[in-house]
Structure 1
Amino acid sequence: MQYLITLVFLVVLAFYSNFIGKLFEKLRLPSLLGMMVAGLIIGPYGLDKIPDLALKISPILKDIALVTVLFIGGLGIGVDQIKKIGRPAVCLSIIPATLEGFTIAYLATIFLDFTFVQGAILGFIIAAVSPAVLIPAMVNLIEKKVGQKKSIPQLLLVGASADDSIAITLFTSFLAIYFQGINGGDFNLKLQLIILPISIIVSLLVGACVGYIGSKSFLLIKNIKIRLATVFLICLGLRYIENRFHFNLYNSLLTIMSLGFFIRYYQKEKYKEIHQGMNNIWKYGKIYLFTFVGMAINPRLIGGYFFIGVVILFFSLTIRSIGVLISLIGTDLDYKERLFCIIAYLPKATVQSAKAGIPLQMGVIGGEIMQAIAILSVLITAPLGAIGINLTYDRLINRD
């Protein structure tokens, strides 16, 4: 009976969340904000009207949607564009998140009386840009032919996909350093920093290999529906491997984006058939992704840390923005386009919703404060980034 109730709930949820999203669009706000608000209203920290089974499968549904949009993002990147964005994309994946994470670590020692390690745990929860907000927005700009002459959406897509790897790796590293300090053990940070670039290279190579194998096998399937289903199942399988085995040298989201890139490379113009099919899946996937992200937000946690959290976020986002400008040194972007990149790199949602409660669950001292400020970062930056992208892309970057 619970399966039937959950199925009916998910169908009703799609209509309800999509309706709220449309209302926000009429107010000239991004629909994703409406979907997040819809999730917040009926979620565990709102009216609490979610069946238990729906909450249990929500991580799976979010993963499926995230896989879809990352793959679409990869399909939107051409070889000629990679040649333009190579160095700045690498810089965008490393510099802004690293500067922001360590800025928060330092500020936490002043405002929250944390040790630097505790501050770094908080810093690298917050430092990750949200693929759930940024990537759909950039895919939308690619479809509208905006910023294609300088490959601005592609630049931000590639940078954001690796940005999360940097932030999550440093988060887990400082978490391990914290517990090693308590238990009197040693933690090899140098080894972790060596593993990080290797994991990025390995992930890209896995995507390239799967794409090459596909060019000799499943990409030759004539029936587009079967070909699309095969590609989609392979993407989900690549994500499942990471979720199941947690390999240090493998980032499934980066692999899936690179697979999209190599399928476009091997398929030439025929990649558009897969692209259209994935877009149809995303129409429904985005509803569940943003709604379930909204359900994970607990505004009640913020409480007495609102003012301190806002101060920390103000300084950290300022340093993050400087990191974006540093990353774009040497590019042909004008000042308006650089400003757009800063705005696009502000939003946080997915990683923060998923990681905010981990320090508290693991018994880190100050874990409840970390959770509160991480949730605050979502409430402030997700609307700021999403609305900012929506309102400024027409004014700051050119429609080709």
Structure 2
Amino acid sequence: MASGATESGQHSSANNKHAKKRFVGYPIFLDIKDKILLKHGPEVEHPTRMEQMLKAIQCPPHGRVAYNITKIAAVVFTWLTVITLLKKQALPGSNFWGLCIVIMGAMVGGEIVKKLRLPELLGMLVAGFMLQNIPGISVAAQISPGWSSALRSIALVMILIRAGLGMDVIVLRRLSRSIAMLAFLPATIESIVGAVAIRYLLGFEWLWSFVLGFLLCGVSPAVLVPNMILLHEIGLGVEKGLPILLMAAASIENVYVIVVMSVLISAGFSAEGIGMQIALAPIQIAIGLTYGMLFGVLFWYFPHEAHPRKADYRFIILLTAGITAVFGGNAFGYAGAGPLACLVMAFMAGIHWGKADPVSLKIVSGKFGILWRYFQPVLFGLIGAAVSISKIQADTIGLSIAVICIGSTVRFLVTLFTVSFAGFNWKERLFAAIAWIPKATVQAALGSSVYDYTVFALATIAAGSGHGGTAAVDSTYMLSVQKTGIQILTTAVLCIVITAPIGALGITLTQNRLLERASAPVTANSIERELESQFTAELPRQESRVTLKFGRVDATTQTLSETATDAKTE
């Protein structure tokens, strides 16, 4: 007993010594733990900037910090996965490495500019430009021109499909005349005036003057469409259909500009001459319309209405069919047919989906919106990276800006005249003219097309066996056109940098002053209620109970809970 008591006393004394040692440093440990670990207590009503910063870095990661850490981890592990697959092709100095850095830099640049309430695309362009031209970095120079061109074409497909799905048939019928005038008249007059200015200010040949003139006249759906969708949701200008008018006319104008540019560029690099290319223009339009209508109607029935994941499959087939149209048209020499086919196909499919299953149409449109969010930095980052200071003729920058200003002024005045026939008041006409200013999408997608073609042609000539007279003539002509292509690209980038922020800020600052708000704003909730009511009304009576569950979830849950409680009581 005595020995047992002695042992217990020794153990207790040892524990007391350990407790004293722990007690000495324990308060410091607790203090550090309290500062590091996130407390889920009551929120401070008016925290100081220091309190906000301390809370942001507390563990476990949360809020914006956790969001950014997740994105960084996803990028790092994706890159490590690609390294295991491609090995040297994904290491620094490779094509894939350059693409990753430019895309991530464009995303960061877009976020920074967004904080300044400027269009994200402006920051993306600047980021790509810096990664190309900062001495000692120049990672953008490692990107393959073929990859860059292909990614820009895919981004163009997404823009056209989103525009086609967003068209309203009823508004198109009511405003068809106004849409046609707005889509063709300002662009045509601006391109003609711009071509004359380019000819005498920049000294281009007439063919390339009209190529650049049409390139500079395409309004940007990337800037216009998101703002018009927002106006439609908050009810500004919707009673007269102004947002739908601008979105529909922008899509048609883009197709018009792309088709004309494709014909002119084909004439510049073809031995058949411009007359033959103009004769082929109706053929390209017919091919685009046929492809778009055929596959658009086909997608009415595939996947079938009872398919459990029809929205996912509709998204996949619409995207792949659009990519096939654009790349297939380029492969067969009908570059203007592909973009038109994308727009018509999405429009035709959207007509039926909107009537038969509007919820599915909304899901598909949302998926394209999410995909565009990730492809936007790809498009604008790559176009910014395509501009090299070493290739820019500094003495022509001022003249290029003068050409842009002349074209934009003419466009503004012609747009004011054009929409005066659509029944809008002077404030709405002024807003339409302001919204018709921003340029970015077509200029980013096609600004380097002439330069890219000459790079490809010169590489083909160099790889061939031709060292004779014909090859020498071809290479001399291509080198002269390449200089013109660099100037076209530079002017396109300047056009984006000047007009995109002016147009975006103009829309944001004037929408509440110039447009009238609808009596019942079209919010997201009202759209969902309207879609649900349409969806329910079109279903047979025996299936309507399933759809009505959206409005009875709470009541059903409460009934089930009461039944379970009664059963327990019994």
The TM-score with structure 1 as length reference comes to 0.83
Question: Which of 378, 387, 397 is the aligned partner of 2:505?
Answer: 387
1:21 aligns with 2:107: no
In 1, the alpha carbon distance for the partners of 2:273 and 2:373 equals 48
Q: How big is each residue's C-alpha offset from its partner over 1:74-104, in whole Å with a ceiling of 9 and x where there is no partner?
A: 2222211211331122222221121112112
Aligned-pair distance for 1:34? 1.7
In 1, the alpha carbon distance for the partners of 2:302 and 2:101 equals 39
Question: Which of 31, 40, 52 is the aligned partner of 2:120?
Answer: 31
Q: How big is each residue's C-alpha offset from its partner over 1:48-77, in whole Å with a ceiling of 9 and x where there is no partner?
A: 113735654222222222222321222222
Q: How big is each residue's C-alpha offset from its partner over 1:2-38, in whole Å with a ceiling of 9 and x where there is no partner?
A: 4434656655655543332222122111222222222
1:272 aligns with 2:362: yes
Aligned-pair distance for 1:352? 3.5
* Alpha-carbon spacing, 1:99–1:344, altered in 2? closer, same or farther (3 Å): same
Q: After the TM superposition, which residues 189-228 of structure 1 pair with which residues of structure 2 at under 5 Å, given as runs?
A: 192=278, 196=281, 199-200=284-285, 202-218=287-303, 220=305, 221-223=307-309, 224-228=311-315
* Alpha-carbon spacing, 1:55–1:138, altered in 2? closer, same or farther (3 Å): farther
| Map of 1:244 onto structure 2 | 331
| Residue type of the alignment partner of 1:282 | W
| Map of 1:313 onto structure 2 | 404
| Residue type of the alignment partner of 2:303 | F
* Contact 1:101–1:124, Cα closer than 8 Å, also in 2: yes
Structure 2: segments with no counterpart, 5+ residues: 1-86, 455-477, 522-570
* Contact 2:299–2:314, Cα closer than 8 Å, also in 1: no
* Alpha-carbon spacing, 1:138–1:11, altered in 2? closer, same or farther (3 Å): farther
| Map of 2:462 onto structure 1 | none
Q: Which moved more, 1:60-69 or 1:169-178?
A: 169-178
In 1, the alpha carbon distance for the partners of 2:188 and 2:268 equals 19
* Contact 2:295–2:345, Cα closer than 8 Å, also in 1: yes
* Alpha-carbon spacing, 1:143–1:312, altered in 2? closer, same or farther (3 Å): same
| Map of 1:322 onto structure 2 | 413
Question: Which of 129, 136, 158 is the aligned partner of 2:219?
Answer: 129
Q: Which moved more, 1:320-329 or 1:34-43?
A: 320-329
Q: Which moved more, 1:121-130 or 1:309-318?
A: 121-130
* Alpha-carbon spacing, 1:321–1:255, altered in 2? closer, same or farther (3 Å): same
Structure 1: segments with no counterpart, 5+ residues: none
C-alpha RMSD over aligned residues: 3.4
In 2, the alpha carbon distance for the partners of 1:66 and 1:174 equals 19
| Map of 1:352 onto structure 2 | 443
Aligned-pair distance for 1:230? 2.6
- Matched positions, count: 394
| Map of 2:316 onto structure 1 | 229
Q: How big is each residue's C-alpha offset from its partner over 1:127-158, in whole Å with a ceiling of 9 and x where there is no partner?
A: 33334443444445445554333333332233
* Contact 2:196–2:209, Cα closer than 8 Å, also in 1: yes
Aligned-pair distance for 1:117? 4.5
* Alpha-carbon spacing, 1:356–1:213, altered in 2? closer, same or farther (3 Å): closer
Question: Which of 37, 40, 50 is the aligned partner of 2:129?
Answer: 40
- Compare relative contact order (CA 8 Å, sep 6+) and give the higher one, 1 or 2: 1
| Map of 1:378 onto structure 2 | 496
* Alpha-carbon spacing, 1:225–1:346, altered in 2? closer, same or farther (3 Å): same
Aligned-pair distance for 1:266? 0.8
| Residue type of the alignment partner of 1:23 | I
* Alpha-carbon spacing, 1:358–1:8, altered in 2? closer, same or farther (3 Å): closer
In 2, the alpha carbon distance for the partners of 1:173 and 1:110 equals 23
Q: After the TM superposition, which residues 277-316 of structure 1 pair with which residues of structure 2 at under 5 Å, given as runs?
A: 277-298=367-388, 301-316=392-407
In 1, the alpha carbon distance for the partners of 2:273 and 2:496 equals 33
Question: Which of 409, 412, 434 is the aligned partner of 1:343?
Answer: 434
Q: How big is each residue's C-alpha offset from its partner over 1:243-286, in whole Å with a ceiling of 9 and x where there is no partner?
A: 322326x5322322232222221112131121222222222122
Aligned-pair distance for 1:358? 1.9
In 2, the alpha carbon distance for the partners of 1:68 and 1:260 equals 10
Q: Which moved more, 1:44-53 or 1:59-68?
A: 44-53
The TM-score with structure 2 as length reference comes to 0.60
Percent identity, aligned pairs only, is 27
SS of the residue aligned with 2:138?
A: coil
In 1, the alpha carbon distance for the partners of 2:151 and 2:491 equals 26
